[in-house]
């Protein structure tokens, strides 16, 4: 059986990962996969209904740091080896408790990445689409605020550590989990 | 008691080190953070009260009220930004 969590420097192949996840499992009627990629701009997401109002992105740029509008040339991903794997394993256990799913796999890349690169994959199999959609979104929402990764962006104006977003805390709170990251 | 303290991301950079072993009289994470802040210099700034700092105890996200144990691993880091 493939490991449920993989932290790696190299790229991944979504088709191969999905094929491995549903391999010979005739119960599977739905596969939901999410892939996150590196943007060249640090743009704020549109606020979900009910989420707390935020000041405009870039209203308070870090003193002496690059402006929020500075384009991203590359990104360095740091993590906490050991804890990262344990934290995501626990998230997958929780997804199995909450949703009727068969298998889940999370891949997250670390190290130096460029715009357009794939950075994260969450894939889930289930009998029906509803549970697979929900579990996939749950795992991403959980990972965004509780897995120990940190992004540092290189811009023409210098490097900046990426700020955590209140909107990500709000996304996890929708699942009834109050573990604020910000 | 002896324990290991790890630092990540902007906090690691500010302190100029990613890990240290300590002998401490602190009994919980909150007291340990205060002990580190009391060192002054970059510690007082990077771990300052009122600043968003997350803490893990033995590789699990923890509240600062959690008790320290002999040989445990503590980590201080800024809010996470993966995904």
With CB atoms and an 8 Å threshold, state whether B80 touches A86. no
- Beta bridge partners, A161, equal A152
Q: How confident is the model at residue A45 (pLDDT cuts 50, 70, 90)?
A: confident
Any domain includes A51: no
Q: What is the DSSP letter of A147?
A: S
Entry field: residues in chain B: 83
Q: List, in order of start, the domains of chain B with CATH numbers.
A: 2-77 (3.10.20.30)
Does residue A65 lie within any of the structural domains? no
**Are A82 and B59 inside 8 Å of each other by CB?**
yes
Q: Is the pLDDT score of A6 beyond 50? A: yes
pLDDT band at A44 (very low <50, low <70, confident <90, very high): confident
Residues in chain B within 8 Å Cβ distance of A120: 82-83
Q: Looking at beta carbons, which residues of chain B come within 8 Å of A145?
A: 79-80
**Distance between CA atoms of A112 and A109, rounded to whole angstroms?**
9
Is B6 touching A (CB cutoff 8 A)?
yes
Q: Which residue of B has its CA nearest to A76?
A: B9
Contact B79 A108 (CB under 8 A): no
Q: What is the pLDDT of residue A53?
A: 44
Q: Is B75 on the interface with A (CB under 8 A)?
A: yes
Whether residue A158 is predicted with pLDDT greater than 90 in this model: the reply is yes
What is the model's pTM? Answer: 0.91
Rounded to an integer, the average pLDDT of A101-115 is 98
Contact check, Cβ <8 Å, B81/A150? yes
Q: Which of B10, B77, B79 sits opposite A182 (nearest CB)?
A: B79
For residue B29, the distance in angstroms to the closest alpha carbon of chain A comes to 17
B53 at the A interface (CB within 8 A)? no
The C-alpha atoms of residue B72 and residue B1 are separated, in whole angstroms, by 9
Q: Distance between CA atoms of B59 and B7, rounded to whole angstroms?
A: 12
A108 located within any domain:
yes
CB of B8 within 8 A of CB of A78?
yes
pLDDT at A164: 94
Overall average pLDDT of the A108-129 stretch: 98
Q: What pLDDT is stored for residue A24 in this prediction?
A: 84
Cα dist. A129→A22, A33, A106, A135, A136 in Å? 14, 11, 18, 10, 11
- With respect to residue A64, please indicate whether it lies within any of the assigned structural domains: no
Q: Residue A155: pLDDT band by 50, 70, 90 thresholds?
A: very high
Instruction: Let me know: does A168 contact A176? Beta carbons within 8 Å.
Output: no
Q: What is the pLDDT of residue A69?
A: 78
Summarize pLDDT for B55-70 with one digit per residue, the tens.
999 999 999 999 999 9
User: What is the number of structural domains in chain A?
Assistant: 1
Pairing between β-strand B19-23 and β-strand B54-57 as defined by DSSP bridges: unpaired
Q: How far apart are CA A9 and CA B38, in angstroms?
A: 38
CATH of the domain at A143: 3.90.1170.40
Reduced to 3 states, what is the DSSP secondary structure of residue A131? helix
Assign A178 to helix, strand or coil.
coil
B31-45 core/surface letters (b: 16 or more CB in 10 A; e: else): ebbeebeeeeeebee
B53 pLDDT band, cuts 50/70/90, is very high
- ipTM confidence score: 0.96
pLDDT of residue A54: 47
**A128 DSSP 8-state letter:** S
Domain contains A178: no
Mean pLDDT of chain B: 98
Query: Residues A51-80: pLDDT tens digits?
Result: 444 444 444 444 567 877 789 999 999 999
CA–CA gap between residue B64 and residue B62 (Å, rounded): 6
Task: Decide if A47 is inside a domain.
Answer: no
**What average pLDDT is seen over chain A?**
90
Task: Note whether residue A55 is domain-resident.
Answer: no
Residues of chain B in contact with residue A182, where contact means CB-CB under 8 angstroms, are 52, 79
What is the average pLDDT across A101-114?
98
Task: State how far the Cα of A125 lies from the Cα of A118, in Å rounded to an integer.
Answer: 21
- Quote the domain boundaries for residue A17: 5-40+70-173
């Amino acid at each position: 059986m493939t490991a449920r969590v993989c932290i790696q420097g190299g790229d991944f192949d979504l088709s191969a990962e999905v094929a491995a996840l549903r391999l010979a499992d005739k119960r599977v009627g739905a596969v939901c996969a999410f892939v996150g990629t590196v943007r060249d701009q640090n743009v704020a997401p549109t606020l979900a209904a009910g989420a707390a109002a935020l000041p405009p992105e870039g209203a308070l740029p870090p003193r002496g740091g690059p402006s929020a509008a500075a384009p991203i040339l590359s990104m360095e991903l740091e993590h906490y080896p050991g804890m990262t794997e344990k934290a995501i394993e626990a998230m997958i256990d929780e997804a199995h408790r909450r949703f009727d799913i068969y298998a889940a796999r999370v891949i997250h890349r670390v190290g130096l990445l460029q715009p357009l690169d794939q950075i994260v994959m969450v894939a889930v199999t289930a009998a029906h689409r509803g549970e697979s959609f929900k579990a996939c979104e749950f795992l991403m929402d959980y990972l965004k605020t509780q897995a120990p990764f940190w992004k540092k962006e290189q811009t023409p104006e210098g490097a900046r550590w990426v700020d955590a977003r209140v909107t990500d805390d709000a996304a996890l709170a929708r699942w009834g989990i109050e573990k604020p990251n910000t | 008691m002896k324990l290991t303290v790890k630092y990540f991301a902007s906090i690691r950079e500010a302190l100029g080190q990613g890990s240290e072993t300590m002998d401490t009289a602190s009994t919980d994470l909150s007291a340990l953070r205060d002990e580190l802040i009391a060192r002054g210099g970059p510690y007082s700034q990077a771990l300052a009260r009122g600043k968003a700092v997350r803490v893990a105890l033995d590789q699990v996200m923890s509240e600062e009220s959690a008790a320290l144990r002999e040989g445990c691993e503590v980590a201080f880091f800024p809010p996470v930004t993966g995904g």
